[in-house]
Amino acid sequence: MTDTVLDVRNLRVEFPTRRGVLTAVDDISLTIGKGEILGVVGESGAGKSMTGMAILGLLEPPGRIASGEIRLSGDRIDTLTEHQMQSVRGRRIGAIFQDPLTSLNPLFKVGDQLVETIRLHSTLTRTQARTRALDLMREVGIPAVEERIDNYPHQFSGGMRQRIVIALALCAEPELIIADEPTTALDVSIQAQITALLKRLCRDRGTAVMLVTHDMGVIAETADRVAVMYAGRLAELGNVEDVVRRPQHPYTAGLMGSIPSLRKDMHELQMIPGSMPRLGAIPSGCAFNPRCPQAGPKCRRDIPRSDGPGAACWLALTGETA
């Protein structure tokens, strides 16, 4: 398919430690098309941020990509040197992180940071870059841009700062944006504004977006497809509506049931007993089997893998767990 922007195949990220090698991301395959938003959802430690970091080439040593391939519009990027990767980051892949304060330099005016980033990725003059910065700030919905461009980050509210970060990510018109919990630090009303902005940009510019979050509600309202991660593996991948309304994996179903409803009175929330295993203690077979009400002998023995959409669950794959 020509429209595939990001193609991740069998990605494995490992952290060698004194007590052995920990697998933080275990055999993940996913694609994102032009203008598509893929939600990557999971609880803390599921490996969702690690997947994003691996794609950006920002794994903290000793973390490393142990196997698999990452292609950006057909070009392999996981084998690039750090120097080559620096020109891919920013120019072809933009990044938005949870805390807008750490993504901005507090000592420089936001305009200068935008101009510097634009000039790094283009041949524009200072004046041209400033005009472009003003356009970008307008595009992400910052009011009174002529005055605001010479403000420092601390003079902006949290929501406005996140808009600046999005403008920064857009400077080089990247093919792919990786947004890691972009709305988690924001209040609900601001969160809605930021997700709407992301959706509009994605639609207008045809940018592919990987939206990493723990919040299923944000995914349901924003993403086209969703990948559910558990203990470093892909539990389920599919269209948002299918996954939210008809989850195939018992973990996804449990996750949905544990979210308090805005409409129904629930006497008790559904609970998944226990907690996600630590990386060093992932059980054999399906990583979810000790917490799964339907687990059988096969689930304790063999790791279920699903190619393409669907659930990595023996029950969903073969109809039996014996």
Beta strand pairing call for 37-41 and 20-33? unpaired
**Considering the rule CB under 8 A, would residue 239 count as an interface residue with another protein?**
no
With tokens 């969160």, the residue in question is: 191
Binding-residue total with another protein (CB under 8 A): 41
Closer to another protein by Cβ: residue 210 or 253: 253
As measured in angstroms, the least distance from the Cβ of 232 to another protein is: 15
As measured in angstroms, the least distance from the Cβ of 48 to another protein is: 12
State which of positions 2-61 bind another protein (CB under 8 A). Answer: 43-44
Question: Where are the alpha helices (H) located in 142-187, listed in sequence order?
Answer: 145-148, 158-170
Q: Give the residue, chosen from 50, 169, 255, 313, that forms a contact with another protein under the rule CB under 8 A.
A: 255
237, 306 Cβ separation under 8 angstroms? yes
**Considering the rule CB under 8 A, would residue 266 count as an interface residue with another protein?**
yes
- Residue 117 has a CB neighbour count (10 Å cut-off) of 20
The DSSP-derived string for 153-209 is GGGS-HHHHHHHHHHHHHTT--SEEEEESTTTTS-HHHHHHHHHHHHHHHHHH--EE
**Considering the rule CB under 8 A, would residue 191 count as an interface residue with another protein?**
yes
**Considering the rule CB under 8 A, would residue 268 count as an interface residue with another protein?**
yes
State which of positions 194-233 bind another protein (CB under 8 A). Answer: 195-196, 214-218, 220-222
As measured in angstroms, the least distance from the Cβ of 322 to another protein is: 27
8-state DSSP, 89: B
252, 242 Cβ separation under 8 angstroms? no
* CA 305 – CA 8 distance, rounded (Å): 15
As measured in angstroms, the least distance from the Cβ of 68 to another protein is: 27
Task: Give the footprint of another protein on this chain (CB under 8 A).
Answer: 43-44, 157, 159-160, 187-193, 195-196, 214-218, 220-222, 240, 244, 254-263, 266, 268-272, 275
